[in-house]
């Protein structure tokens, strides 16, 4: 074995090690969050955490149901508001717009994916919350406000991944449908959207992950009351806000309960990731096969 | 009754175009709103003076330094790991269960919410390892957050280097590592830089993961172990506690401008890179 070979093998080994960095980080995060969060869940009963309605950390009552429902409601709201607009944009940009306009609009939309979430939250506070308070009544800090802001925040994610999915379709699909006399819209509705379905579904799931995981914007506009909201105008607290609001002063069991909140959030996100992954890999396999 | 397809299409087009217009309008409105109220606050002294009275008066100098320090720390850790991973995946192995696991890990990591990174960084770096609220803790946490972005963009950059480059280099008798360092990396560099700059944008805008790991001290940081407040955290605290609205707008304007700058540079680089190989 020459010196060069030894060097090559050494480099290969080092690279293999770095290649496992992401997986190891993921593993370490999982271990730490679960190690900190699950003991209290088992000590006090998982049911109490998942279905308890009362969150009074001072009295040792840690019911997370209001926050779980809260997270689901604002996420659902965000999808209802954001997804139609996002899909409209994706269809317009890939099928109806001139290439020149697309080349301007797509970067503009992607540019806005980088706007920090605190800025979105702030706009929510100074523009949207007063508007809701004056138009619909209530405190303004509400499920509705959070859903609208999250709906806007998921736009760039859903738009750019859906555009990729639509553009990845073989041109023959489009040409075939048009050649048979279908209008552009019929082509979109009957051929392109159904064929790009798995990519679009993946984009929606990833947008959902972003909405579930968003923290700072939601804290600023959702009102944060730890109770199940009865109307869309009621304040709401999400899992993420629950952690961020109380982490700075929590200790002992209270802190453990916040990590338990993290565990639930983590599980939801991993389920969504796996679904998105399954959906987009089905697409990849379908294309190759 | 059946609507004639042409008529239906005309109607649908109007609806879709107006939805697109609304979307673009909303997104531009946000930027314009911040800049219109924030730009008048900006001045040289706002950028070069430290905050006084919790940020009620003075500038944002120490938070700019804090942001840069955290970002630099994060890049210093994540870039070698991310680029190394990409080199391994693209040059040193073939598709197998191992590469699938690595990619799946990176994808999952990319989807984890920043507050979870914050919790994790807090318990591991701040408490268990005893770094306290510091640039070190915050930078390491951010490094983990941006790792997937760097891996993915570097991998794409490496993949776009034409196969012939590799064949020529190897046929001239270079070792694999010589090929990687002298041929592949230089050609892929703009693409890799794009990913790095993209991560800079993400680090600048991050709040939830940073506030629990780097803390929110307003002093100018003096070492890796000083607690430091970033611009986003500063903006969040100013706005949420109602300390000073003008200064909040000013900070937000600096944040938005730097993000726009980062994105425009990335976009330019990416386009030059794509043109080069297509």
Q: What is the pLDDT of residues A223-250, one digit of tens each?
A: 998 889 988 999 999 999 999 999 888 8
Mean pLDDT of the region B5-21 = 92
pLDDT in tens, A75-133: 999 999 999 999 999 999 999 988 898 888 888 888 778 889 999 999 999 999 999 99
Q: How far apart are CA B85 and CA B157, in angstroms?
A: 13
CATH of range A72-249+265-288; options 3.20.20.70, 3.30.70.260, 1.10.3720.10, 1.20.210.10: 1.10.3720.10
For residue A223, what is the DSSP state?
Answer: B
Element (H, E) at A151: helix A143-153
Size of interface A-B (CB pairs under 8 A): 242
Mean pLDDT score of chain A: 90
Contact B85 A18 (CB under 8 A): yes
Residues of B within 8 A of A25 (CB-CB) are 105, 109, 144, 147
Average predicted confidence (pLDDT) for chain B: 90
B267 and A CB contact within 8 Å: yes
B133 at A interface, C-beta within 8 A: no
Q: Which residue ranges make up each domain of chain A? A: 72-249+265-288
Q: What's the pLDDT score for residue A288? A: 39
CB contact under 8 A, A114 and B207: no
Does A276 sit within 8 Å of B144, measured CB to CB? no
Rounded Cα–Cα distance for residues B37 and A33 (Å): 41
pLDDT in tens, B162-207: 999 999 999 998 888 999 999 999 999 888 988 898 899 889 999 9
Cβ contact (<8 Å) for B33 and A114? Answer: no
CATH code given to domain B44-276: 1.10.3720.10
Tokens 């997370």 locate to A64
* Pairwise CB contact (< 8 Å): A36 & B89: no
Domain map of chain B by residue range?
5-41, 44-276
Q: Are A96 and A264 in contact (CB under 8 A)?
A: no
Instruction: Please give the ipTM for the structure prediction.
Output: 0.89
The 10 Å Cβ neighbour count of residue B164 is: 8
Please check whether residue B127 touches A, CB under 8 A.
no
């Amino acid at each position: 074995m020459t010196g060069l070979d030894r060097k090559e093998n050494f480099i290969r080994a080092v690279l293999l090690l770095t290649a496992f960095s992401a997986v190891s980080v993921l593993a370490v995060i999982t271990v730490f969050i679960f190690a900190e969060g699950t003991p209290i869940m088992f000590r006090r009963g998982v049911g109490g955490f998942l279905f308890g309605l009362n969150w009074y950390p001072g009295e040792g009552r840690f019911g997370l149901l209001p926050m779980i429902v809260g997270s689901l409601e604002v996420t659902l709201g965000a999808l209802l508001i954001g997804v139609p607009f996002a899909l409209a944009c994706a269809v317009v940009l890939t099928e109806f717009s001139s290439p020149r306009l697309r080349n301007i609009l797509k970067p503009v939309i992607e540019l806005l994916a980088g706007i920090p979430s605190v800025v979105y939250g702030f706009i929510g506070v100074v523009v949207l919350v007063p508007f809701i308070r004056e138009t619909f009544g209530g405190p303004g800090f509400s499920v509705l406000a959070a859903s609208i802001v999250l709906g806007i925040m998921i736009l760039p994610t859903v738009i750019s991944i859906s555009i990729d999915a639509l553009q990845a379709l073989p041109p023959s699909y489009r040409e075939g449908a048009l050649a048979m006399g279908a209008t552009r819209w019929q082509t979109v509705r009957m051929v392109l959207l159904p064929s790009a379905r798995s990519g679009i579904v993946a984009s929606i799931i990833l947008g959902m992950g972003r909405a579930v995981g968003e923290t700072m914007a939601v804290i600023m506009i959702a009102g944060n009351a730890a109770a199940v909201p009865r109307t869309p105008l009621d304040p709401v607290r999400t899992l993420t806000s629950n952690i961020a609001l109380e982490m700075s002063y929590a200790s002992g069991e209270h802190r453990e309960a916040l990590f338990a909140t993290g565990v639930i959030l983590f599980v939801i996100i991993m389920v969504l990731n796996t679904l998105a992954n399954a959906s987009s890999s089905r697409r990849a396999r379908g294309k190759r096969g | 009754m059946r609507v004639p397809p042409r008529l239906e299409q005309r109607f649908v087009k109007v609806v879709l175009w107006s939805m697109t217009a609304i979307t673009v309008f909303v997104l531009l409105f946000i930027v314009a709103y911040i800049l219109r109220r924030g730009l008048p606050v900006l001045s040289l002294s706002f950028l070069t003076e430290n905050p006084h009275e919790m940020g009620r008066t003075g500038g944002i100098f120490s938070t700019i330094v804090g942001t840069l320090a955290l970002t630099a720390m994060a890049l210093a850790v994540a870039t070698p790991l991310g680029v190394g991973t990409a080199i391994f995946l693209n040059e040193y192995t073939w598709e197998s269960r191992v590469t699938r696991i690595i990619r799946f890990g990176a994808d999952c990591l990319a989807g984890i919410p920043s507050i979870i990174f914050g919790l994790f960084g807090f318990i591991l770096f701040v408490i268990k390892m005893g770094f306290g609220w510091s640039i070190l803790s915050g930078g390491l946490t951010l490094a983990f957050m941006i790792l997937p972005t760097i891996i993915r963009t570097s991998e794409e950059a490496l993949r776009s280097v034409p196969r012939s480059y590799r064949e020529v280099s190897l046929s001239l008798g270079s070792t694999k590592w010589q090929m990687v360092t002298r041929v592949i990396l230089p050609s892929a560099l703009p693409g890799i830089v794009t990913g790095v700059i993209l991560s800079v944008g993400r680090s600048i805008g991050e709040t939830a993961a940073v506030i629990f790991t780097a803390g929110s001290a307003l002093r100018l940081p003096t070492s890796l172990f000083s607690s430091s407040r970033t611009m986003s955290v500063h903006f969040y605290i100013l706005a949420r506690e109602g300390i000073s609205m003008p200064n909040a707008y000013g900070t937000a304007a600096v944040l938005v401008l730097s993000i726009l700058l980062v994105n425009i540079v990335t976009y330019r680089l990416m386009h030059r890179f794509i043109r080069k190989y297509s």
